[in-house]
């Protein structure tokens, strides 16, 4: 089965990110395909490389980056939601006059069209968070 996954909540404020991560790991282990992971609303906060949790806590952003690299996942961050929350890749930082980017490895910024396309290409869209 082909899945698209949408994550709407931040990494440490709601269980949605952890649940989505565990769902994707289980789906991949069972041989399913993940078409795209789309981070929307506060979910874009999963993509900042400046997240530094305490050493005894899980690093959710690093887990996402490692999972993307291991399975060649397409992890898309909504551009409008990212701009509102201060998440920028190199291109967005330059366009908006920022002195640095802060997107974590494995993530890319794009528009809602990527979510629509993923929904068309998938058998199911699974949404985590409000």
* 24, 78, 103, 109: the active-site residue: 78
Strands 33-39, 107-110: pairing kind: unpaired
| Domains of the chain with bracketed CATH | 2-128 (3.40.1260.10)
Measured in degrees and rounded to the nearest 5, phi and psi for residue 96 equal -105, 10
Q: Does residue 38 have an active-site annotation?
A: no
pLDDT digits (tens, 9 = 90+) for 69-122: 999 999 999 999 999 999 999 999 999 999 999 999 999 999 999 999 999 999
pLDDT digits (tens, 9 = 90+) for 16-69: 999 999 999 999 999 999 999 999 999 999 999 999 999 999 999 999 999 999
């Amino acid at each position: 089965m082909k899945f698209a996954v949408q994550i709407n909540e931040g990494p440490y404020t709601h269980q949605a990110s952890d649940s989505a991560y565990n769902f994707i790991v289980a789906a991949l282990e069972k041989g399913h395909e993940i078409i795209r992971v789309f981070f929307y609303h506060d979910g874009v906060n999963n993509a900042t490389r400046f997240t530094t949790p305490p050493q005894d806590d899980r690093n959710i952003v690093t887990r996402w980056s490692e999972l993307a690299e291991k399975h060649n996942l397409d992890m898309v961050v909504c551009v409008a939601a990212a701009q509102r929350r201060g998440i920028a890749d190199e291109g967005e930082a330059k366009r908006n006059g920022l002195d640095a980017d802060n997107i974590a490895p494995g993530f890319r910024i794009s528009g809602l069209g990527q979510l629509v396309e993923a929904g068309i290409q998938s058998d199911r869209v699974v949404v985590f968070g409000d």
